[in-house]
Amino acid sequence: MAKVIAFRRSAAFAVTLLGLSIAFKPDDDGVVSAEVTHGEALDRFAAIASDYRVVAETPAVVKAEPDPATAQPKSKAGDAKKAS
């Protein structure tokens, strides 16, 4: 899925492309865009660079928790003295 941004637009509108109805609408910042999943439709929008820009979506970064089975225990300040 990718976001398609429509330039020179300020209000909601729909585009019928390849039998699909793609609804564009402004966000809180006034950027008019639509979420598009159809690959050929994305290619068509990308080909009209003067009016549309295809922006690839990136997955959210999730911080992974360490695996408790392989995680090493935290050392205590006194542990270093005991080892010497």
Longest Cα–Cα distance of the chain, Å, equals 75
The predicted pLDDT at position 70 comes to 55
| Tokens found for residue 48 | 């009209």
The predicted pLDDT at position 59 comes to 52
Q: Is 83 helix (H, G, I), strand (E, B) or coil?
A: helix
Residue by residue, pLDDT tens for the chain (84 residues) are: 899 999 989 999 999 999 999 999 999 999 999 999 999 999 999 999 999 999 976 554 444 555 555 555 555 555 555 555
The predicted pLDDT at position 60 comes to 46
Closest CA to 36 of 58, 21, 50: 21
